[in-house]
Amino acid sequence: MAAKPNELEIVRVYDAPVKLVWEAFTDLKHQVNWWGPRGFTITTKSKDLRPGGKWIYTMHGPDGVDYPNIATYHEVVPYERLVYDHGGNEERQKLFTVTVTFKEELGKTIMVMLMALDTPEAAKEIKKFIKIANGNSTWDRLGEYLEHEITGKDPFIINRTFDAPQAKVFEMWTDVKHLSKWLPPKGFNMELISGDIKTGKTAFYSMSNGEFTMYGKSHYLDINPITRIMFTQEFADKDGNPAKHPGAPTWPSQMISTVEFATEGPNLTRVTLKTEVHGQATAEERKAFHDEKSGMMMGWTGSFDKLEELI
Same domain, 76 and 118: yes
- Among 125, 151, 177, the domain boundary falls at 151
Contact call for residues 130 and 11 (beta carbons, < 8 A)? no
The answer to whether residue 53 sits within a structural domain is yes
Same domain, 135 and 49: yes
pLDDT at 270 (0 to 100): 97
Q: What is the pLDDT of residues 12-56, one digit of tens each?
A: 999 999 999 999 999 999 999 999 999 999 999 999 999 999 999
- Cα separation, 64 vs 111, whole angstroms: 31
The count of domains in the chain is 2
Domain limits for position 64: 7-151
In a domain, 2, yes or no: no
Q: Are residues 161 and 294 part of one domain?
A: yes
What is the torsional sign of CA 165, 168, 173, 177? Answer: negative
What are the tens digits of pLDDT across the range 230-277? 999 999 999 999 999 988 999 999 999 999 999 998 899 999 999 999
Overall pTM surpassing 0.85 (yes/no): yes
283: in domain: yes
Res 1 pLDDT > 80 = no
Q: Does 174 lie in the same domain as 93?
A: no
Strand arrangement of the beta sheet that strand 54-60 belongs to: 7-14, 108-116, 96-105, 81-88, 66-77, 54-60, 41-47
CATH of residue 205's domain is: 3.30.530.20
Q: Domain check: are 51 and 128 in the same one?
A: yes
- pLDDT, tens digit, 9 for 90 and up, residues 165-197: 999 999 999 999 999 999 999 899 999 999 999
144 and 164, same domain (yes or no)? no
Q: Do 59 and 43 share a domain, yes or no?
A: yes
Q: How far apart are CA 23 and CA 26, in angstroms?
A: 5
Tell me which of 127, 151, 175 is where a domain ends.
Answer: 151
| pLDDT higher than threshold 90 for residue 11 | yes
**Contact (Cβ atoms closer than 8 angstroms) between residue 204 and residue 193:** yes
Please tell me whether residues 141 and 238 are part of one structural domain.
no
**Do residues 263 and 145 both lie within one domain?**
no
Question: Are both 129 and 259 inside the same structural domain?
Answer: no
Residues 172, 146 share a domain: no
Q: Is residue 1 in some structural domain? A: no
Give helix 293-310 / helix 283-291 axis angle, nearest 10°: 50
- Which of 151, 170, 185 is the last residue in one of the domains? 151
